[in-house]
Amino acid sequence: MPPSDRARPRRATRPPRRSLFDLSFDEIADLEDPETAGDVYRSLYRHRRTTATVRRVARTHDLTTSALPLQAVERGSMTTKHLFGLPDGSSVETVAITRRTGTTACVSSQVGCAFRCAFCASGQDGLTRHLSPGEIVQQVLQLGTRINRVVFMGIGEPLHNDDNVLAAIRILRDRRGRGLSTRGITISTIGPPAALRRLREEHLGINLTISLHATDDAVRRELIPGARAHRIEEVIDGSQSWAERHGRPVTYVYLLLPGHNDTDEDLDRLIGWFADRPARVNLMRWNPVDGEQRFLRADDRLLARFRRALVDARVDTAVRDTQGLDVDAACGQLRARRMRSVPR
């Protein structure tokens, strides 16, 4: 059976001890008072210091303030991949992508993934557990003060853990602390329809990206086995409903995989869905994954053919080459290699 968007992971869903980073400003104020909550938020998120007040609050309420230990780093020309340890012995990846306009944090939302995308390393071992809000927040904080964008495109399906992901976004955007603009936050999802309906009712001003990758349900089931209960038409209807409610276009990522989703019929369906609508199509190449032999990287000619046809049909389209090929930055590979090298 495919995982539902509320399905439980096969192991514990919470780390052994709750962290002060899990708490919103209001939750800390309820435990203490607004002035103390302000001190804690400024210390943790602006000054990045563990002060006496922070230690007292944590000790009083049996909360930890421990940072996620950095287990490994791989550096490329524009990307730096970090492997962070978690309190239960698991690990997750976070990638920093540096551009002239700042640095983007590509963060994880789960340990593993239940949806097992065939082209991705993240879900090769299934889902272990959800990340807590604090574990998500700390990935951003540990990358430093130059982070001005956050994308939920790391390990895991964000809308499978939407309560904790949205809690983390609220903490990061709180102006009394980190004050990150939600205009710089993107949730990238395969689009579970029920979770899209819940997201539609949130008012956070974020960006929405749908990992589409197919125009035919049978092909999408092959590429994303865990999404076989989600019809493509439902995913598109749900995301376009979000776009209409919030007045923001949706980005649809289409990983061009020769021999799988590159036919004229695929092009016709993309045009039929997105011409003259609040939508943008990002065409991408595949980042090779260790041990995966089914897929080839699209060449320039194929990318140009798709882009030209879509643009001519009034579909906003761009070709986005993946970053980090020089450090095997496809999601989950650093974690997967470490899991293979460390005895269980």
SS3 content of the chain, % helix, strand, coil (to 5): 40, 20, 45
Indicate if 331 belongs to the active site: yes
Buried b (16+ CB within 10 A) or exposed e, 56-70: ebbeeeebbbeebee
Coil, helix or strand at residue 150: strand
Per annotation, catalytic residue among 74, 93, 135, 157 = 93
Using alpha carbons, select from 96, 97, 68, 73 the residue that is nearest to residue 83: 73
The two three-digit tokens of residue 204, written as one number: 């956070």
Per annotation, catalytic residue among 113, 117, 120, 331 = 331
126: alpha, beta or left, given left = phi > 0 and alpha = psi -120 to 50? Answer: left
The answer to whether 235 and 210 have CB atoms below 8 angstroms apart is yes
Indicate if 93 belongs to the active site: yes
The answer to whether 331 and 122 have CB atoms below 8 angstroms apart is yes
Q: Please name every residue paired with 150 in a beta bridge, in sequence order, or none if there are none.
A: 105, 185
The two three-digit tokens of residue 139, written as one number: 């990935």
Within the chain, strands assigned E span: 70-75, 79-85, 91-99, 102-106, 110-112, 127-130, 147-152, 185-189, 207-211, 250-255, 279-284, 316-319
Q: Annotated catalytic sites, by residue?
A: 93, 331
